Amino acid sequence: MGSGSDIIKIHIKIAIILFILISGISLFLNRPGLFSLDNYFNNEKNQIIYPDTSKEKKYETEVEIYIDLSKPDTKKAFITMIFYCFSSTYYFKQMGPEKEFKFEQVKFYDKNGAELKYNKNGRNYYLPRTDSNKMGITYSVEPGGLERHARQGYVSEDFAAFDGRIFIMPNNALKINKVKLQFQVPPQWQIINSYRKEGKWYYPDIFGKELVYESLIKSSMIFGDFEKKRKNYGNTDVFVYCYSKWEKERKKTITHKTFRLYEYFFKEFNLNPSGPYIICWLPGTSDNNIFGGTWSNSISYYEKEEDNLRTWEVLSRRIGYSINTYKPTGMVLRDQDDIWFNEGWVSYMEIISLVAAGITEDEYRWNKNYNTYLKYLREHPEYDCPLIDDYKITDPNIKEFLHYYKAPLVIKMLDVEMRLKTGKNMQQFMQYAYKKYGRFKKPFPFKVELEKFTGTSFEEFWNIMIRKKGYIIPVWKEYITSEIKSNINKSRGLIISGEKFSIDYFFYIASNGYVEKYRDLITFAAEEGAYRKKIKSRNTIYPDITGKYIYGFPPQVRYLLRSYEKERLGFTSVEDVTFKPDIKNKSCRILCQLMEMEKIYENNLGKNGITSIYITGNNNNRILAFHYNNIIALHTEWLISGLEASFELLSPNGKIYEKKNFTVEPGVCNTTVNFEKIRPQIEGIWIIRIKHNEKILLERAFWQK
């Protein structure tokens, strides 16, 4: 055995080794970037053990955030937040909606790390007391819930992306002066954001203290294996990230297009946020797009496997918001009546920018948008409303109609009117406006500046297209397609007071209830011709699209043009109406026959106890015509009651196609009967006949196409 001194030396060496080992483990666990709940939670006392950084003296409202993504297979981020120097905190709130972000295992702690109880109401957490010096929160969050257009954030074994909606913040979060974040991620994963980095800490303060909170909540945070490319524009470094596992050519194409699109906004509007600007293209999921956040310093979005045009339109939209909405680079509209212009302009720019940047040559996108607008009017006319009311709208379906379709088309009409009146255009105006009002210099009075810039009034345009529902007409040259050009060679239908009308147009008017009688169609058409002559006699308010091509317009478009002209001109009287039908045309002969049968119907009204027979369409308006697959809702107004009646629907061959027996109860003066049987898909005259004891009381003819 060794001497006592040798044993003491051995013990000292063991103690030194143990001290070094324990110190090393402690340093490892406490090193920046590895804040794990497993390392900092005392299960016996049910307490959190704050990191050493929390011992530093704090003099301002500060938040320290640790995001643990080391277990991506759970699809969750594990988050610890420490709040310093907060006062008057009444509750905390989950920033992301619960259907999009799943918050679990939420715990609050006082300054000593002891757990605090709370009451939860919706997304809010109410604590019985708060400590203004220091508080902690731990929780897990699973992003990726579906919003209307995409999954909101995502965590997977390949990558993660989200914005600050994953956080739980106090009600007085706008007071925050300082935020710093650390991240724990799997090996090989990059940490991608536009924050300022110092050591292991990330600071969302590149736009100053006043925007720290907004930068934290709205900026993208991306994690994974991505390939980076960089270009400089002014004082801004633009970084484009593509998922590293994509094919080389695909990454090259996406990167090239992305830089071209950003460069367009830089050159056109001098978009120059300063600092880093991140655009990250995410790998997708099998079932939906992924939206990882967007602000004036970052955009993260899922790029579909195919080179999808809509993806580039969305990117244009997000960059466009940096011009007219996002802080600190954007603008703020002075008047709430102009709120519609924000969303309308970025939708307008989706088409303008992609063509200008050479990403697509498809200027016919205006026609596609217009066709969607027309479809909305047919299927959901209740969605249409004045653009001036945009700020009042809460229904997401109406907002989508206004923001993506109606508003950009109205701006297109405004752009054309600007060019015709002054030679200036919308792009020039927005360059002028952004230079004067960009970076939130002062509130932007849209209409005032528009009239100042062009030197002309747009009050008439505003009265029709902004303050009222308005009527969008296709003023862009691309609308005159080969199909419309070929339509002008079709059978002429009718000529009324020198103006050509197709029979399809007359059927459209009759089937939508725009006239009450068949002979009113002639007056209706004559008025339209008078509007058009008056428009042409003064300075035109749109390109010459109303010449030889108007006859080739679809009926719905021609009606909108007529309505727009009527609104612009007001009442116009008509005299000496001439009517010249094309007798060789079967539909014209049917219409002439219907007008004659209408006279017989009117002569018999009231003679046998019936004062009116009419049918209603989808909007409950009275119509004169219907399609073969429409249900016929027949309404009868009676002078007599207390009888058994039969209602017969006669086909063009004179045979009964459908029959309904109905009891008109005593005292009843209005009845409704539905003919629901699908009719043959042929054009002709269908007669509704009402009988009592085999006696014909009244009949009326209607038009089917």
Segment 302-320, tens digit of pLDDT = 766 566 888 899 999 999 9
Beta-carbon count within 10 A of 188 CB: 8
| 201 pLDDT above the threshold of 90 | yes
| 20 pLDDT above the threshold of 90 | no
DSSP string, 495-510: EETTEEE-HHHHHHHH
Token pair listed for 43: 């299960």
The band of 491, judged by pLDDT with boundaries at 50, 70 and 90, is confident
- Mean pLDDT (the chain) is 90
**pLDDT number for residue 381:** 94
Bridge partners (DSSP) of residue 242 are 227, 281
33-47, 151-165, 346-360: the lowest-pLDDT one:
33-47
**pLDDT number for residue 397:** 96
pLDDT tens, residue by residue, 639-690: 999 999 999 999 999 999 999 999 999 999 999 999 999 999 999 999 999 9
Averaged over 311-333, what is the pLDDT?
A: 95
The band of 31, judged by pLDDT with boundaries at 50, 70 and 90, is very low
Number of residues that this document lists for the chain = 705
**pLDDT number for residue 288:** 75
Cα separations in angstroms, 556 against 330, 414, 453, 547: 38, 21, 35, 17
Averaged over 524-542, what is the pLDDT?
A: 79
Averaged over 181-196, what is the pLDDT?
A: 97
Rounded-to-integer distance, Cα 221 and Cα 190, Å: 11
Q: Contact 162/153 with Cβ under 8 angstroms?
A: yes
Averaged over 602-625, what is the pLDDT?
A: 94
Sequence-distant (≥ 6) Cβ neighbours of residue 268 within 8 angstroms = 356, 427, 431
Averaged over 122-137, what is the pLDDT?
A: 86
Rounded-to-integer distance, Cα 365 and Cα 374, Å: 14
Q: Is 263 exposed, middle or buried (0-12, 13-18, 19+ CB in 10 A)?
A: middle
State the DSSP code for 304: P
Q: What φ, ψ does residue 89 adopt, rounded to 5°? A: -95, 115
Which alpha helices (H) appear in 459-554, and where do they start and end? 459-461, 482-487, 503-511, 520-537
**pLDDT number for residue 76:** 97
Query: Strand, coil or helix: what is 454?
Result: helix
**pLDDT number for residue 149:** 75
Q: Are strands 62-68 and 178-184 parallel, antiparallel or unpaired?
A: parallel
Rounded-to-integer distance, Cα 287 and Cα 247, Å: 21
Q: Contact 176/61 with Cβ under 8 angstroms?
A: yes
Q: Contact 304/285 with Cβ under 8 angstroms?
A: no
Of residues 215, 149, 155, the one with CA closest to residue 183: 155
The band of 242, judged by pLDDT with boundaries at 50, 70 and 90, is very high
Share of the chain above pLDDT 70, in %: 89
Sequence-distant (≥ 6) Cβ neighbours of residue 167 within 8 angstroms = 65, 79, 81, 95, 216, 217
3-state helix, strand, coil in the chain (%, to 5): 35, 25, 35
Rounded-to-integer distance, Cα 321 and Cα 353, Å: 13
**pLDDT number for residue 509:** 97
Beta-carbon count within 10 A of 238 CB: 20
Sequence-distant (≥ 6) Cβ neighbours of residue 228 within 8 angstroms = 239, 240, 241
Rounded-to-integer distance, Cα 635 and Cα 633, Å: 7
The band of 24, judged by pLDDT with boundaries at 50, 70 and 90, is very low
120-129, 436-445, 452-461: the lowest-pLDDT one:
120-129
Sequence-distant (≥ 6) Cβ neighbours of residue 543 within 8 angstroms = 416, 420, 475, 477
Sequence-distant (≥ 6) Cβ neighbours of residue 192 within 8 angstroms = 220, 221, 222, 223, 226, 241, 278, 280
Averaged over 420-447, what is the pLDDT?
A: 97
Token pair listed for 431: 């360059």
Angle of the 426-437 helix axis to the 407-422 helix axis, nearest 10: 100
42-56, 264-278, 490-504: the lowest-pLDDT one:
42-56
Averaged over 567-574, what is the pLDDT?
A: 80
Rounded-to-integer distance, Cα 344 and Cα 346, Å: 6
How many C-alpha atoms does 543 have within 13 Å on its Cβ side?
Answer: 16
- CA triplet 362, 367, 373: central angle to 5 degrees? 135
The band of 42, judged by pLDDT with boundaries at 50, 70 and 90, is low
| 25 pLDDT above the threshold of 90 | no
**pLDDT number for residue 30:** 40
**pLDDT number for residue 27:** 40
Q: Contact 120/168 with Cβ under 8 angstroms?
A: no
Query: Strand, coil or helix: what is 141?
Result: strand
The band of 88, judged by pLDDT with boundaries at 50, 70 and 90, is confident
381-385, 455-459, 525-529, 532-536: the lowest-pLDDT one:
532-536
Query: Strand, coil or helix: what is 243?
Result: strand
The residue that leads in pLDDT, 54 or 389, is 389
Strands (E), 284-417: 290-295, 298-302
